[in-house]
């Protein structure tokens, strides 16, 4: 059994942008403080929701450094350092470790993809190069490659591979990971609409988009699961299901940034090629936010 990085709700935090498209560090700092004040259990910086794919190398490193310094050990900071180039993922992972990251989030290689044997070699090479816990990130809808449960089982033997963020949406596959791996690897839900089912199987929590705008509510759903109060957790998850789904009316993180802008938080726009949400979808999202009590 390995040490668990965190339990509960970790936020896949957005990267706020200024009007000119540069990173708005002041707003990022405000958001981090709001998250911690509302019981978020971990901060995940430079993930998909943080637009890591359009941050340049220096911005990527500076966002990680800024977050580590701002959080100041109050909750774990998990740095997104995955890449479809193993050598670059190793470089970025070592940089994040040197800056003081508590753990790494490593997406599967995208576009060039690889075989299951290639995934084992890729992740092993990164995990061998660092001395902090690594979280595998399985999101085949974006990357075009799925981590098979048997591959997770093989990787779970590595001392530095501590968890998997499962965003495949395939509950049967996730159940098989638990069956094959037992307590050798932790599982986090990568989807806000699957917190309760995944945690009921033994998951430790969620890496959440919804936490950006509803941190206390997302934390509470996860905590109820940890407290084995699944009826109340399920009822609360059902209440916030329209919000969880509404944030994905467009490609993530378009929805969450639009929603946060609607609440008055200066999230800014997404960088191209992600583009502004259509007016019809904005109107629907605004209604969902109002129904959830997040705006008037």
Confidence of residue 38 (pLDDT cuts 50, 70, 90): very high
Specify the CATH class of 8-229 in words: alpha beta
Q: Is 269 an annotated catalytic residue?
A: no
Domain definitions of the chain by residue range: 8-229
Confidence of residue 67 (pLDDT cuts 50, 70, 90): very high
Confidence of residue 119 (pLDDT cuts 50, 70, 90): very high
Q: Is the CB of residue 89 less than 8 Å from the CB of residue 57?
A: no
Distances (CA, A) of 126 to 234, 238, 244: 37, 38, 32
What CA–CA distance (Å, rounded) separates 64 from 234? Answer: 34
Confidence of residue 296 (pLDDT cuts 50, 70, 90): confident
Mean pLDDT, the chain, integer = 97
Q: Per-residue pLDDT tens for 208-244?
A: 999 999 999 999 999 999 999 999 999 999 999 999 9
Query: Which ranges of the chain does DSSP label H, i.e. alpha helix?
Result: 25-37, 57-71, 86-99, 116-128, 140-143, 149-155, 171-181, 195-200, 215-226, 230-239, 241-246, 254-262, 279-291
Spot the catalytic one: 165, 204, 257, 282: 165
Q: Per-residue pLDDT tens for 235-282?
A: 999 999 999 999 999 999 999 999 999 999 999 999 999 999 999 999
Q: Which two tokens stand for residue 31?
A: 């958001």
Instruction: Count Cβ atoms below 10 Å from residue 187 Cβ, excluding itself.
Output: 23
Q: Per-residue pLDDT tens for 167-194?
A: 999 999 999 999 999 999 999 999 999 9
Q: Is 137 an annotated catalytic residue?
A: yes
The residue-averaged pLDDT of 87-115 equals 97
Spot the catalytic one: 61, 70, 123, 137: 137
What CA–CA distance (Å, rounded) separates 200 from 115? Answer: 30
């Amino acid at each position: 059994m390995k040490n668990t990085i965190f339990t509960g709700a970790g936020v896949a935090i957005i990267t706020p942008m200024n009007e000119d498209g540069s990173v708005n560090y002041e707003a990022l700092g405000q958001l981090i403080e709001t998250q911690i004040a509302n019981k978020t259990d971990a901060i995940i910086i430079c993930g998909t929701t943080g637009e890591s794919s359009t941050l340049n190398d220096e911005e990527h490193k500076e966002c990680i450094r800024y977050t580590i310094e701002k959080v100041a050990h109050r909750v774990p900071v998990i740095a997104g350092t995955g890449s479809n180039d193993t050598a670059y993922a190793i470089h970025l992972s070592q940089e994040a470790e040197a800056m003081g990251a508590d753990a790494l989030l490593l997406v599967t290689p995208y576009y060039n993809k690889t075989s299951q044997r290639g995934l084992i070699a890729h992740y092993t090479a990164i995990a061998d190069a660092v001395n902090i816990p690594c979280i595998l990130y399985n999101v085949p809808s974006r990357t075009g490659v799925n981590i098979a449960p048997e591959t997770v089982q093989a990787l779970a033997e590595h001392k530095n591979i501590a968890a998997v963020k499962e965003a495949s949406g395939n509950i049967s596959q996730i159940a098989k990971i638990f069956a094959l791996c037992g307590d050798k690897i932790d599982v986090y839900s990568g989807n806000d609409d699957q917190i309760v089912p995944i945690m009921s199987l033994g998951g430790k929590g969620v890496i959440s988009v919804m936490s950006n705008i509803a941190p206390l509510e997302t934390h509470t759903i996860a905590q109820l699961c940890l407290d084995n109060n699944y009826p109340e957790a399920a009822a609360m998850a059902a209440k916030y299901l329209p919000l969880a789904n509404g944030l994905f009316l467009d490609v993530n993180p378009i929805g969450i940034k639009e929603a946060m802008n609607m609440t008055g938080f200066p999230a800014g726009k997404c960088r191209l090629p992600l583009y502004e949400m259509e007016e019809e979808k904005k109107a629907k999202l605004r209604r969902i936010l109002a129904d959830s009590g997040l705006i008037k």
